Amino acid sequence: MGDFFTASVLVATIASGVRLATPYLLAGLGETIGQKSGVLNLGVDGVMQLSAFFAYYTVLKTGNLWYGSLAAIGVGLVMGLIYAVITIEFEATQGISGIGIFILGLGLSDLLFRELVGTPKPIRRLPSVDIPLLSDIPKVGEALFQHNLLTYTAFVFVPLSVLLLSRTTFGLNVRAVGENPHAADSLGVSVERTRYAAILIGNAMAGLAGAALVLGLGIFQPNLTQGLGFIAVALVYFGSWRPAGVMAGALLYGMVNATVLQWKALNIIPVSGSVLANMAPAVITIVALAFLARRGSAPAALSQPFSRH
Amino acid sequence: MSTESQKLVEMRGITKRYPGVVANEDVTFDVEYGEVHTLLGENGAGKSTLMKILFGLTPADEGEVLLRGEPISISSPADAIDARIGMVHQHFMLVQPLTVAENVALGLRSGRRPFTDLDVVSKRIHELSEAHGLAVDPSTEVWRLSVGERQRVEILKALYRDAELLVLDEPTAVLTPQEVDDLFVILRHMVDDGRGLIFISHKLHEVMSLSDRITVLRNGRVVGSTTPAESTRESLAEMMVGREVLLTPRKPVLAAGRPRLSIRDLSITGDRGAVSVDNLSVEVHAGEILGVAGVSGNGQRELAEAIAGLRPVDAGTIQIDGTDITRATTASRREAGLAYVPEERMRDGAIGEFTVSENLVLVNHGSSEFAKRGLFSHAAIRKHSEDKVNEYGVKTPTVDTPTSSLSGGNIQKVIMARELGVKPGILLACQPTRGVDIGSAEYIHRRLIEQRSEGAGTLLISEDLDEVLGLADRIAVMFEGRIVAIVDAADAKREAIGLMMAGVLDD
Ligand SMILES: Nc1ncnc2c1ncn2[C@@H]1O[C@H](COP(=O)(O)OP(=O)(O)OP(=O)(O)O)[C@@H](O)[C@H]1O
Ligand SMILES: [Mg+2]
């Protein structure tokens, strides 16, 4: 246990926690925007898997990490469009439709991987970029300012989503449509268009989350997320629909995860028989968040299809 | 402003069918520039439907609309707003967690896109509220506002958009007489500017004072048009209902009995963290209707919610028939004999997705009358519901219709039927006839008087001063969280009460 509390191990753990938090932060922020508009998207995990595959495959073929990231965003947008058409045009139940998207993403990424790649081959990983000056701060610099660009992007998206939701007309429309679509409609705000946009933004971010996951690992395997994309949905609830809350939750998850990995590496807990240890981060995060989370209330029209009477 | 023949709007031959009802049948209706045209009719007559068609909220099955002489197709509220049509809806169209300014700004073009310009909007709201006496703070979230204040926000939204044709679907239902007078001054200004106004109200004296023309609908059809000069309140009532209506309730003289509801030294904190009910004491006796008069926002809502068990109290006690219920659950309050008609019927009074029948048994579906060994006896529930629907004249195709599709006044009747149906010992009634047509209001008043005769105590919280004056035995005037005066209804004067409501006391 003593080994764990040395400065260098702690710094490494925090750095890895931030890294592990990234995909869930990106996906959670996207899910927040969608839910704020009244749309529950349970398909995040599937979107992450499929975009992770496309990011991986693009990098495998072109060697270009940015093409990979763009491909992932593209996949997110396409999946978002499918989901939007199903839930907005056809007013299908959002819960079930989201599960459908999850299964589609999971199955398709698995199939494509086996058809197109077969055996896992490593790809280039996103390089870390040191932030000038800040990364030179002892300890703190190593823990926080020596990460890859997608990690920085994820954290920059936190204030940006706050700004988007609270300061822009689009954000105002999103909040109104998620709370009382009839009121928004009566003032000429298009409920459909606002929800389309929110879904597309949210899914693009889930796509980017997939890219962050796979390009951080440098390898793809079927069922890459192992269903942990659902953590992103949980983070939105525990974060009380606030980006900062989602960030806090994502960091908590990342840190717990990193600690468990570190303990395994230091043999503080056994590597074998570690099903429990594998589950621990998700369980601990959810339990902790359930206690810590500030009670916020869900958007009143969450998961309700809109139609005029 | 206009050529003699050109109307601001003309609706021709409008027909609209809903499953089981024809809401509008071959309705022809127009508004000229500079005119207030009132739509009058019983609950469910089709007034709101006609206006929803005009505003693009629902399509007509037949008929056409001409705006400024041109045929126009309005298929969404956005189209209507583009055509400079504004509407104050019968039920609030407000986003509760958003601020007043955000609610007003919604859908407007911001001068600072993509960002909002809420400071500009707030400033303009301030100007408008100053100019029109519609006091409301732009930075407050709507859920913290009283219904009267919410109504002001709705009117501000319409004023802000500067509509040329303004539809007001029962805008005065929750306003005090003073607020109504102020509103009418604003509306008159607008009309003198050459704008057109469509006004809907069940309060006949308002209709008489504001309208230039009046058109009466019954069962979806136009039964006639008239002007205030050619009519009286009685003749309008008769035209609407098709029979003579007793406009002022008559009640037998009763000696007040034992206290049934006793409130002692009650203090409550409001949503804004300030004291909203301040050391208030009052008693309601058996066989008594105690009317609470006051401008909305003076603690009536908090008082009602505390009695109903929906809001914690800071200090003091509430007793029903000697049993302390200050901290009791809502269920045990009901067992103690409390019935509650909330002011916000759609939020607290009924479940929109539930059927009429389900809403009618909402408070007592577990009683032996409606359930046997934990299972509903549907036959008994249906029979009970059909009886209530007939008794109260609820206009609904069937008792299995979702309540949200009923007209506003009919939803109110469902709630009244349920709450009076349990034969309460104490009835807490907030705005019991809000939005109810005069024929049905007459019926509800009769029932209130009947249960008074049977020994129930009634706490009537209403902003309709005429209703309070007509029904109450004693009138308590509420101002800034206190009861500033209790007067016998017999020697109460409208003007004096109006002044006390505004906080002017001469002793
Ligand atoms: N969405 C709907 N679905 C089915 N029926 C409806 C719907 N909206 C209205 N109706 C029916 O149409 C008829 C007219 O309703 P409307 O709301 O126009 O009445 P109203 O004159 O405005 O009454 P009130 O004074 O109570 O507001 C009623 O019988 C009502 O039940
Ligand atoms: Mg109506």
Chain A CB contacts of B346 under 8 Å are none
- Same domain for B296 and B218? no
**What is the pLDDT averaged over residues B410-428?**
91
The verdict on a CB contact (< 8 Å) between B106 and A183 is: yes
Tell me, yes or no, if A170 comes closer than 8 A to chain B by beta carbon. yes
Q: Does ligand 1 come within 6 angstroms of the Cβ of A308?
A: no
B439 within ligand 1 shell (Cβ under 6 A) = no
What is the average per-residue pLDDT within B23-34? 96
What is the distance in angstroms between the CA of the first residue and the CA of the last residue of chain B?
Answer: 53
Which residues, other chains included, contact B45 with Cβ-Cβ below 8 Å and sequence gap of 6+? B217, B218, B219, B220, B240, B407, B437
A227 vs B457 pLDDT, higher one: B457
Are residues B169 and B299 located together in one domain of the fold? no
Residue-wise pLDDT for B2-26, tens only, equals 445 689 999 999 999 998 899 999 9
With beta carbons less than 8 A apart as the criterion, state whether A122 and A218 touch: yes
Q: Is the pLDDT of residue B482 over 80?
A: yes
Residue A242 contacts B where some CB pair is shorter than 8 Å: no
Residue A164 banded pLDDT, cuts 50, 70, 90: very high
> Which residue's structure tokens are 């203090």?
B267
Query: Which pLDDT belongs to residue B133?
Result: 74
Ligand 1 binding pocket includes B240 (Cβ within 6 Å):
no
pLDDT in tens, B70-108: 999 999 999 999 999 999 998 899 999 999 999 999 999
Residues B100, B213 share a domain:
yes
What spacing in Å lies between the alpha carbon of B349 and ligand 2's midpoint?
Answer: 17
Average pLDDT, stretch A43-48? 96
Residues of A in contact with B115 (CB under 8 A): 167-169
Q: Report the amino acid identity of residue B342.
A: P
Per the prediction, chain A carries an average pLDDT of 90
Residue B507 is assigned to a structural domain of this protein:
no
Output the residue whose Cα is nearest ligand 1's atom 7.
B405
How many Cβ pairs closer than 8 A exist between chain A and B?
Answer: 81
Query: Which of A139-143, A164-168, B263-267 has the lowest average pLDDT?
Result: A139-143
Asked if the Cβ–Cβ distance from B93 to A168 is below 8 Å, we say no
A165 or B507, which is more confident?
A165
Which of B58, B93, B95 has the most A C-beta neighbours within 10 Å, making it the best mutation to test the interface with A? B95
Regarding whether B208 and B274 lie in a shared domain, the answer is no
Domain membership of residue B254 (yes or no) is no
Do B336 and B378 lie in one domain? The reply is yes
Residue B205 within any structural domain of the chain:
yes
CB pair distance less than 8 Å for B115 and A185: no
Could you tell me if the CB of B286 is within 6 A of ligand 1? Answer: no
Determine the pLDDT at residue A163.
96
**Considering the domain boundaries, does residue A127 fall inside one?**
yes
- Closest ligand 1 atom to residue B19 Cα is 4
Q: Which residues of A touch B82 (CB under 8 A)?
A: 188
Q: Is B75 on the interface with A (CB under 8 A)?
A: no
CATH number at residue A167: 1.10.3470
Best substitution site from B29, B49, B91, B199 to test ligand 1's pocket, by max atoms within 8 Å of Cβ?
B49
> Are B54 and B196 found together in one domain?
yes
pLDDT of residue B149 exceeding 50, the answer is: yes
Q: Which residue of B has its CA nearest to A194?
A: B107
- The span from the CA of A103 to the CA of B21, in Å, is 44
Does the beta carbon of B436 sit less than 6 angstroms from any atom of ligand 1?
A: no
Q: Do A188 and B57 touch (CB under 8 A)?
A: no
* pLDDT in the model for residue B82: 92
The domain boundary, picked from B241, B276, B310, lies at B241
- Cβ B354 under 6 angstroms from ligand 1: no
Find the B408 Cα to ligand 2 centroid distance in Å. 5
Say how many domains are in chain A.
1
**Does A138 score more than 90 pLDDT?**
no
> Whose alpha carbon is nearest atom 25 of ligand 1?
B43
B147 plus B24 within the same structural domain: yes
Asked if A296 and A238 touch (Cβ cutoff 8 Å), the reply is no
Torsion sign, CA atoms B87, B91, B92, B93 = negative
Same domain, B311 and B196: no
Question: Ligand 2 mean position to B172 CA, how many Å?
Answer: 13
**Is A113 within the bounds of a domain?**
yes
How many Å lie between the alpha carbon of B83 and the closest alpha carbon of chain A? Answer: 12
Q: To the nearest whole number, what is the mean pLDDT of chain B?
A: 90
Q: Do A187 and B93 touch (CB under 8 A)?
A: yes
Give residues with Cβ within 8 angstroms of B182, minimum separation 6. Answer: B132, B133, B134
Q: Determine, yes or no, domain membership for A240.
A: yes
Whole-number pLDDT of residue B490: 85
Which of A107-111, A123-127, A131-135, B132-136 has the highest mean predicted lDDT (pLDDT)? Answer: A107-111
B248 in any annotated domain: no
Q: Give distance in angstroms: CA of B48 to centre of ligand 1.
A: 7
Which residue, of B185, B207, B241, is where some domain finishes? Answer: B241
| Residue pLDDT, tens place only, B61-80 | 999 999 999 999 999 999 99
A189 contact residues in B (CB cutoff 8 A): 78, 106-107
Find the domain containing A215 and state its range. Answer: 2-292
Asked whether residue B150 falls in the same domain as residue B222, the answer is yes
- Which position has the higher pLDDT, A200 or A285? A200
The reply to whether B236 and B88 lie within a common domain is yes
- Is residue A234's pLDDT more than 60? yes
Q: Which residues of A touch B106 (CB under 8 A)?
A: 172-173, 176, 183-184, 187, 189
With a cut of 50, say whether residue B244 has pLDDT above it. yes
The C-alpha atoms of residue B127 and residue B117 are separated, in whole angstroms, by 16
pLDDT per residue as tens digits for the range B215-239: 999 999 999 999 999 999 889 989 9
B267/chain A closest Cα distance in angstroms = 26
- Nearest-angstrom CA–CA distance, A289 and B206: 56
pLDDT tens string B492-504: 888 888 888 877 7
Q: Ligand 1, atom 2: nearest CA belongs to which residue?
A: B405
Choose among A172, A188, A308: nearest Cβ to B116.
Answer: A172
Residue A174 counted as domain residue: yes
Beta bridge partners of B222: B217
Report chain A residues whose CB lies below 8 A from the CB of B96: 179-180, 300
CA distance B242 to chain A (A): 30
pLDDT digits 0-9 by tens, B162-180 = 899 999 999 887 777 777 8
Considering only residues 204 to 233 of chain B, which have any Cβ-Cβ distance to chain A shorter than 8 Å?
none
Contact A185 B405 (CB under 8 A): no
The whole-number pLDDT of residue A273 equals 58
* Position A263 in a domain: yes
Per residue, the 3-state secondary structure of B141-195, as one string, reads: EHHHCCHHHHHHHHHHHHHHHCCCEEEEECCCCCCCHHHHHHHHHHHHHHHHCCC
CA distances from residue A65 to A57, A152, A212 in whole angstroms, order as listed: 10, 16, 10
Partners of residue A180 in chain B, C-beta under 8 Å: 93-96
Name the more confident of B183 and A209.
Answer: A209
On whether ipTM exceeds 0.85, the answer is: yes
* Whole-number pLDDT of residue A295: 65
Residue B251 is assigned to a structural domain of this protein:
no
* Shortest CA gap B191–chain A (Å): 22
Give me the pLDDT at residue B2, please. Answer: 44
pLDDT(A309) > 70: no
Q: Are strands B165-169 and B85-88 parallel, antiparallel or unpaired?
A: parallel
The residues, ordered by sequence, that sit 6+ positions from B368 with a Cβ below 8 Å of its Cβ are none
Closest atom of ligand 1 relative to the B170 alpha carbon: 27
B225 lies in the same domain as B310: no
Q: Which ligand is nearest to the CA of B47?
A: 1
Write the residue in A173, A189, A309 that is nearest to B58 by C-beta: A309
CB B382 within 8 A of CB B398: no
User: Do residues B99 and B78 touch, judged by C-beta distance below 8 A?
Assistant: no
Domain CATH number, residue B53? 3.40.50.300
CA-nearest residue, atom 28 of ligand 1: B44
Q: Is residue A205 domain-resident?
A: yes
pLDDT tens-digit readout, A270-306: 766 567 777 777 787 778 777 776 667 789 999 889 9
Assess if residue A217 is contained within a domain.
yes
* Total domain count, chain B: 2
Two structure tokens written together for B460: 């009537």
Residue B322 domain flag = yes
Report in angstroms the alpha-carbon separations of B18 from B220, B320, B358, B410. 11, 45, 21, 16
Evaluate whether residue B140 is within a structural domain: yes
Q: B221: how many CB neighbours lie within 10 A of its CB?
A: 15
Of B57, B82, B106, the CB nearest to A172: B106
Report the percent of chain A where pLDDT is more than 90. Answer: 62
Q: Write out pLDDT tens, residues B313-352.
A: 999 999 999 999 999 999 999 999 999 999 887 778 899 8
Share of residues in chain B with pLDDT > 90 (%)? 60
- Residue A2 pLDDT > 60, yes or no? no
Q: Does residue B146 fall inside a structural domain?
A: yes
CA distance A23 to chain B (A): 28
pTM for this prediction: 0.83
Within this chain, do residues B226 and B359 fall inside the same structural domain, yes or no? no
- Is residue A56 one of the residues assigned to a domain? yes
Q: Report cis status (omega within 30 of 0) of the bond before A281.
A: no
Examine the pLDDT at B156 and tell me if it is beyond 80: yes
Enclosing domain of residue B431: 259-501
Number of H helices, E strands in chain B: 16, 22
Residue A205, pLDDT > 80, answer: yes
pLDDT > 80? residue B389 = yes
Distance B201 CA to ligand 2 centre (A): 9
Q: Is the CB of B48 under 6 A from ligand 1?
A: yes
Which has the higher per-residue pLDDT, A307 or B285?
B285
- Closest-CA residue in chain B for A168? B115
